[in-house]
Amino acid sequence: MTEAAELPPAPEQAREVFGDRFVDAVRYAELLAEAGVKRGLIGPREVPRLWERHLLNCAVLSEVVPEGVTVCDVGSGAGLPGIPLALVREDLKITLLEPLLRRTNFLTEVVELLGLDHVTVVRGRAEEVMGTITPVHVVTARAVAPLDRLATWGIPLLRPYGEMLALKGDTAEEELKSSATALSKLGAVKTSILHVGEGVVDPLSTVVRVEVGESPGGVRFAAKRAKAARTGRARRRRG
């Protein structure tokens, strides 16, 4: 097994970005470099670039997330981008959605250790939790799947007029073009590519923003969402 490299000191930008939560950000980086590597959540070769490529790259997503909204981080994995976003934005109510048990165990430990009271960990696949979690204003994701597939999971979790923010790399523009038809069918009304992190990360973080109209998920999910809502109301009445 490859030995993990040593975690480098936090760059000065991290102090500025994480502010009062800087110490917690350092602890999270240490957890990723230690337990994260041992549990197979982070590759050992990623440790030397944890700050620039992972924590800061994700934290700057906060630049385009509205104030005081609900967020669902789909396929959260080791907590990226959900945990860095939570550290810099205590005004958000964040759900970390992840299907694998070993990952949700890690996420729960991190949330408890860092005292992230505004973060909830949910185990499950996006397509399975509709109706069990309240639709959110914003869905986030990073390195989960190609945009067209990611959209089929993430967009139906949005409330009307919400948005999906996907951290992408050099393929962002190409993926957006090839996904245009699929996104339209899912209720997308506007798409754009944003670059965030000026003065913090180089290269800048690339974000694909997909804004939806009044029917997130399109016609296909309207009936499913209504059925889930009826089921939820029936359960509450019985309770």
**% residues pLDDT > 70 (the chain):** 90
pLDDT higher than threshold 80 for residue 232: no
* Sheet-wide strand order for 70-74: 119-123, 93-98, 70-74, 136-142, 158-168, 205-212, 188-196
Strand partners, 120: 95
Mean pLDDT, to the nearest integer, of 39-54? 95
Contact yes or no for 71/93 (Cβ under 8 A):
yes
**Whole-number pLDDT of residue 235:** 65
Q: Which tokens sit at 218? A: 């399109």
Residue 140's pLDDT band, with cuts at 50, 70 and 90, is: very high
Q: Which tokens sit at 122? A: 């949910």
Q: CA–CA separation, 32 vs 197, rounded Å?
A: 22
pTM of the complete model: 0.90
Answer whether the bond into residue 8 is a cis peptide, omega within 30°.
Answer: no
- Residues listed for the chain: 239
Q: Which tokens sit at 199? A: 């003065």
pLDDT higher than threshold 90 for residue 233: no
Residue ranges of the alpha helices (H) in 60-160?
Answer: 82-88, 101-114, 126-129, 147-154
Which H/E stretch holds residue 136? strand 136-142
Q: CA–CA separation, 169 vs 203, rounded Å?
A: 10
User: Which of 22-31, 186-195, 210-219 has the lowest average pLDDT?
Assistant: 210-219
Q: CA–CA separation, 79 vs 76, rounded Å?
A: 5
Mean pLDDT, to the nearest integer, of 151-180? 95
Mean pLDDT, to the nearest integer, of 43-63? 96
Q: What's the pLDDT tens digit per position in 1-17?
A: 445 578 999 999 999 99
Mean pLDDT, to the nearest integer, of 94-118? 98
Residue 231's pLDDT band, with cuts at 50, 70 and 90, is: low
